[in-house]
Amino acid sequence: MERPNAWNDYTPEQLDALEELSSQYKDFISQNKTERECCAAGIELARAAGYRDLADCMREGAQLKAGDKVYAVNRNKTLLLVHLGSEPLASGLNILGAHIDSPRLDVKQVPLDETDGFAYLDTHYYGGIKKYQWLALPLALHGVVCKKDGSTVAVHIGEDPQDPVFCISDLLPHLGSEQMGKKASEFVPGEALDLLVGNRPLKLEEGSKETPVRAQVLSLLSERLGIDEEDLLSAELEIVPAGPARDLGLDRSMILGYGHDDRICAYPSLRAQLETEAPARTAVTLLVDKEEIGSVGATGMTSLFFEDSLAEIAALAGEGGELPLRRCLRNSRVLSSDVSAGYDPAFASVFEKKNSAFLGRGLSFNKYTGSRGKAGSNDADAEYVALIRSVMDGAGVHFQTSELGRVDAGGGGTIAYILARYGMSVIDCGVPVLSMHAPWEVASKADLFEAYRGYLAFLAAE
């Protein structure tokens, strides 16, 4: 059952829409490379589309009704969007769930050091990465520094063409024979992923105990950002690849960018949510943090933010109470929207071809993920898969089904199993990606477009 290539079926009008969406998506992921930035951008778009802050509604005692649109934000890292439908909440919701964190390097709390005339920031990698891929790349610094006086300093260095960039140095091949003999997992240890941030010494007063290059970096941090070394204790600074997403290929059919996992699912989910009109079942999009490290913590999917926010919305809509909330959750349907491994002929041995996701063939559905016998997976039931097939075919959406590689080759997981514990119908779906978790990932514009079309159809389904 080989699925057709979506590019062969597009009208000129659809091709124009595809390119417009792709351009807007490239701008989004180029400008928003952290979960905080994605959350802030999502709030801005939601407000422009008429969404109101749930906190304001609660404070005012507003009465919510069909057609109302609200959003809730959790610690500036998780965003919930709800468009109330004409049916009671207890009949269930149509939910799109994606994550907005991506693999990266985090700056440690006590990071700054000088060694032999070079200043470095120590890092701790976040999520599953191949550490050697982060060497000798132009890198940018994004994040916030929170000061004791309650103020927050935004940090965004390395994206503007006039900005400096940073890097992690690599060993020249002329001296690398021992290094090249190591396994890839041992090629560079995590503690060696030190970000190079300076080499110019500051002229110090005689008798100073400070090292000169380190002192120069501290001086620049104070001058440009108004922060001192102690302020780094309460900072969240993320190291990401510098530069914008770009078209890939002579045919411009693909996008090379940082953070496709999982913003290539989060962005079309957000767009579909904002463009959904007068749904029967309440339409919900949930953009969460911490998926790359197990969905833990106060901003991960395992927190109670989602459940608590829905309880507040139900109360304002006159449907409050523990039992109605449980019914609402149990009767809901979810697309756990996360990227899938795109079939790569360069590494064909780890794929089972007829059950692989191919770039250009549309939105990919994974009935199950997990590893070692589906461990850690949500395995969608056949009835729900049939319903999803009907929705997608009814909207003319190109889609495919896949697994995450050969049975014993590895595996992975998403937030699906966490939502499934409410008794919801949940299936994994998303855009196939090449070079997943690398600093620069590859995805097809056609699959992005089909994800957007599929998410629109799902949110409108009765």
- Please indicate, yes or no, if residue 249 is contained in any of the structural domains: no
Q: What is the mean pLDDT of the chain?
A: 95
pLDDT at residue 28, as a whole number:
98
State the virtual CA torsion across 318, 324, 326, 327 in degrees, nearest 10.
Answer: -120
Q: Could you give the CA distance from residue 230 to residue 225 in angstroms, rounded to a whole number?
A: 13
Confidence check: pLDDT of 201 > 90 = yes
Q: How many helices (H) and strands (E) does the chain have?
A: 11, 22
pLDDT at residue 368, as a whole number:
87
Mean pLDDT of 112-129: 96
- Please indicate, yes or no, if residue 253 is contained in any of the structural domains: no
Mean pLDDT of 170-191: 92
- Please indicate, yes or no, if residue 117 is contained in any of the structural domains: yes
pLDDT at residue 207, as a whole number:
76
Least confident stretch, 77-81, 297-301, 401-405, 438-442 = 401-405
Q: For the domain that residue 144 is a member of, what is the CATH number? A: 2.30.250.10
- Please indicate, yes or no, if residue 247 is contained in any of the structural domains: no
Indicate the residue among 211, 241, 271 that finishes a domain. Answer: 241
Q: Residue 372: which pLDDT band, with cuts at 50, 70 and 90?
A: confident
Q: Residue 221: which pLDDT band, with cuts at 50, 70 and 90?
A: very high
Q: Residue 103: which pLDDT band, with cuts at 50, 70 and 90?
A: very high
Residues 400, 445 share a domain: yes
What range defines the domain where residue 285 resides? 6-102+258-460
pLDDT at residue 256, as a whole number:
98
Written as six digits, the tokens of 27 are: 């701008």
pLDDT at residue 248, as a whole number:
98
Residues 386, 281 share a domain: yes
Residues 213, 362 share a domain: no
Q: What is the pLDDT of residues 323-335, one digit of tens each?
A: 999 999 999 999 9
- Please indicate, yes or no, if residue 250 is contained in any of the structural domains: no
Residues 299, 177 share a domain: no
pLDDT at residue 377, as a whole number:
82
Q: Could you give the CA distance from residue 368 to residue 364 in angstroms, rounded to a whole number?
A: 12
Residue 195 has phi, psi (to 5 degrees) of: -85, 125
Strands 246-248 and 370-371: unpaired
Residues 112, 73 share a domain: no
- Please indicate, yes or no, if residue 252 is contained in any of the structural domains: no
Residues 190, 140 share a domain: yes
Q: For the domain that residue 83 is a member of, what is the CATH number? A: 3.40.630.10
Q: Residue 457: which pLDDT band, with cuts at 50, 70 and 90?
A: very high
- Please indicate, yes or no, if residue 234 is contained in any of the structural domains: yes
Confidence check: pLDDT of 74 > 90 = yes
Residues 332, 315 share a domain: yes
Indicate the residue among 182, 211, 241 that finishes a domain. Answer: 241
Q: In total, how many domains does the chain have?
A: 2
What is the pTM (predicted TM-score) of this model? 0.95
Indicate the residue among 173, 208, 241 that finishes a domain. Answer: 241
Q: Residue 16: which pLDDT band, with cuts at 50, 70 and 90?
A: very high
Q: What is the pLDDT of residues 266-322, one digit of tens each?
A: 999 999 999 999 999 999 999 999 999 999 999 999 999 999 999 999 999 999 999
Residues 145, 51 share a domain: no
Least confident stretch, 32-46, 177-191, 237-251 = 177-191
Q: Could you give the CA distance from residue 330 to residue 422 in angstroms, rounded to a whole number?
A: 6
- Please indicate, yes or no, if residue 232 is contained in any of the structural domains: yes
Residues 393, 287 share a domain: yes
Residues 439, 306 share a domain: yes
Residues 226, 195 share a domain: yes
Residues 82, 138 share a domain: no
